[in-house]
Amino acid sequence: MSDETPKLSHVEQLKIENGMGGLLVNEMADLSVDHVSEDAYQLLKFHGSYQQDDRDARLPRKKQGLGREWSFMLRTKFPGGRLNAEQYLACDRLADTYANGTLRITTRQDFQFHGVLKGDMKPFIGELNAALMTTYGGCGDVARNFMACPVADLLPDYDFDFQALAKQISDKFMPESTAYYELWLDGEKFLVDGTRVAVEPNHSEPFYGPQYLPRKHKMSIGLPNDNCVDIFTHDLALETVLDARGGVRGFNLLAGGGLGSTHGKAETFPRLADRIGFTTPDRAVEVIEAASAVYRDYGDRTNRKHARLKYVLEERGVAWFRDELAARLGFALPPPADVPIYEVCDHLGWEQQKDGRWLVGVWIENGRVKNENNTRPGLRAVIERFRPEVRLTGQQNIVLVNIDAADKPAVDALLREYGLQTGGGALSELRRYAMACPALPTCGLAVAESERYLPDLIGELERRGFGNERVWIRMSGCHNACSRPPTAEIGLIGRSLGLYSVFVGGSFAGTRLARLYKPDVRANVLADVLADMLEQWRRDRSAGEEFGDWAARTLVPTESVLWAS
C-alpha cells in the first residue's frame, strides 16, 4: 500500500501558484490576442466568465485559414434571483453595448451575457459593478449563486424573509481576495451607496484557503410545499420546516445532490441530496458553513470529474458526514423533521402580495430575453414605466413584483401589447414547462443542440396533440445537465451532434431521478419516441397519474439502468 500523497490535478496547482490573478492579469492586458490560454481561462472562471467561441463559425473560418471567433460569457450573481429595476435596465443596456443583444436567464437565477469581446471585458464589468452588481464568484471553484424561491418573502403564507437569509449566506461565501477589483476596477470597489473606494490589496481567503474548493459548490433554500429551486439537486440546501401554525420552525440540512456526469466515466453520476439533520434558523448560516468546510477538506482534488460533494457522501456515507459535521459544530444536529409532499410552482401569472401589491410572472422561452420574440422591448417598456423589482426564477422565467394595485391594469395591458405570456392562453402546458440549456453555438462543452432545437421539438409534439399535457421536458446539450434533465419527467441529454439519450421517470416535484429509457436516439425520430410514450401514458395511466410517476412504474422500474456512463 503506497504512502505517497495523491497528485493534485493541474487546476489545483494553478490555483496554488496564481490565486485569482497571476498569469491571468498579463494575458487579459494583452489585447493583441483575442483570447487567453487554457491555464488563464481556468482562473478567469473565478471572475464569473467562460471563454467561448462561435462554433457555427469554426469550419468556415478554418477553410479561410482563420482561427476561432473568440468571445466571453459573463455571469452575474443575484442571490435569490433578486435585482431592482435600475439594475435590470442597466443589464438590458449592457447587452447591446458589449454583448450579443440578449440576456440569458439561467437555471440558477442569474443573467448570462454572451459574445463579449476581450477588450470589452473590463469596461463591461466596471459598469456592472457601478450598478451594484457583480460577476465575482459567478463561476469557479467557489459557492455559486445562492438560490431561493424568488417570491417567498412576498407571499402571505410566510412571515420569514427567505431572501434576506439567501443574501446573508451568499455574502458569507463571497471570495475575499481583492484580485477581482485589481484586475477589473483598477483596485477599487463600489460600496452599497455607490461610492467608489480603493481596496487594500489582500489575496488571502480565510474560509476558502489558497486552493479554494475542489469544484463548484451549489446551495439553496427550499420551501416545504414548493420545490421551485430543485433543492435535492444541490450540494447543500436548507429545506424549510413549518410549525403547526405555519411559521418557519427551522430547516432540514440536505447534502450531496448534483446532476453532472461525464461520458465514459462510470465514477460520475447524478445524485439527489440526503437529509442530514435539523437546524433552527439562528444557526442555519453556521451549519451551512461547517458543512461546506467538510467539502473543502474532503473533496477530491486529484480528479476534477470526481470532485463534487455528492461523491464524498456517496463514498463515505451519510452517517460519516453527520459525525464529521458534529465534530466541527461542537454538537450533533437533531434528526431531520418531517415535511409535506412536494409540489412545484413556476410563479407565472398574477398573484397578490401580502402587502396588497401585486406580482406577475412572465414566461421566457428557455430564458432567452431577446428582441426577436419581443421579450426585451416588452420587459424594458414595463420596467422603465412602472419600476417594479425583478426576480429571476429557477425555471428561467422572470417575475415583476411590488406592482401597485392601481397600476395592475396598465401593466397587464402592456404585457399583452408585446405578446408576453404569463401562463395559460396561447402558451401550451408542454411548452410552459420545457427547459433547455444554451448549448450550441456558444457553450464549449455542448456536443448536441438544446436551446435552438427544443422549441421545434415541442412544436411537433403540440401539432400531434400533446400541448395540454403538464410534463417536464428538459434538454441538455451534454451530461453536465445545466437544465436539470436528470430530475425531469422526460430528460433529453446530448450524446453527439443530432444524438440524444432519453431518460424518463423523474418526478414533477423533483424528488426522484429519471432512469435511462433509450440511449442514442437520433434527433429526426426523437418526436416519435416521445409521442409514443405520451400516447401510451394517456391510454394506460391511472386516474390523475402524472407522466413521471407512470413512467417510473411502467417504463423504467427500479432495476433499470439509472444512468448511462
Helices of type H across 260-403: 284-298, 309-316, 318-329, 375-386
Residue that terminates a domain, selected from 375, 396, 417:
417
Residue 82: C-alpha distances to residues 135, 140, 386 (Å): 14, 21, 17
For residues 89 and 381, give the distance between their C-alpha atoms in angstroms, rounded to a whole number: 10
Residue keyed to cell 423533483:
510
For residue 457, is it within any domain? yes
| 505 in the same domain as 434 | yes
| Number of Cβ within a 10 Å radius of residue 304 | 17
Cis, bond preceding 441 (omega within 30 deg of 0) = yes
3-31 pLDDT, tens digit per residue, is 567 899 999 999 999 999 999 999 999 99
Please give the residue range of the domain that contains residue 546: 429-554
Q: Which H helix or E strand runs over 293?
A: helix 284-298
Q: Which CATH number fits the domain that encloses residue 394?
A: 3.90.480.10
Note the pTM of the prediction, 2 decimals: 0.96
For residue 538, is it within any domain? yes
| 407 in the same domain as 384 | yes
Average pLDDT estimate for 418-429: 94
For residue 245, is it within any domain? no
Average pLDDT estimate for 424-440: 95
| 446 in the same domain as 387 | no
The answer for residues whose C-beta is within 8 angstroms of residue 286's C-beta and 6 or more apart is: 329
73-106 pLDDT, tens digit per residue, is 999 999 999 999 999 999 999 999 999 999 999 9
| 404 in the same domain as 440 | no
Residue that terminates a domain, selected from 397, 417, 437:
417
| 477 in the same domain as 362 | no
246-268 pLDDT, tens digit per residue, is 899 999 999 999 999 988 888 89
**pLDDT at 2 (0 to 100):** 46
For residue 202, is it within any domain? no
Higher pLDDT, 460 or 563: 460
| 444 in the same domain as 383 | no
For residue 535, is it within any domain? yes
| 437 in the same domain as 549 | yes
For residue 314, is it within any domain? no
| 548 in the same domain as 435 | yes
Over the chain, what is the mean pLDDT? 96
For residue 521, is it within any domain? yes
Residue that terminates a domain, selected from 417, 449, 473:
417
481-493 pLDDT, tens digit per residue, is 999 999 999 999 9
Q: Which CATH number fits the domain that encloses residue 498?
A: 3.30.413.10
34-55 pLDDT, tens digit per residue, is 999 999 999 999 999 999 999 9
For residue 72, give the C-alpha cell.
Answer: 466571453
| 451 in the same domain as 411 | no
| 536 in the same domain as 446 | yes
| 505 in the same domain as 450 | yes
For residue 296, is it within any domain? no
Q: Determine whether 328 is exposed, middle or buried from the number of CB atoms within 10 Å of its CB (0-12, 13-18, 19+).
A: middle
| 541 in the same domain as 463 | yes
Total domains in the fold of the chain: 2
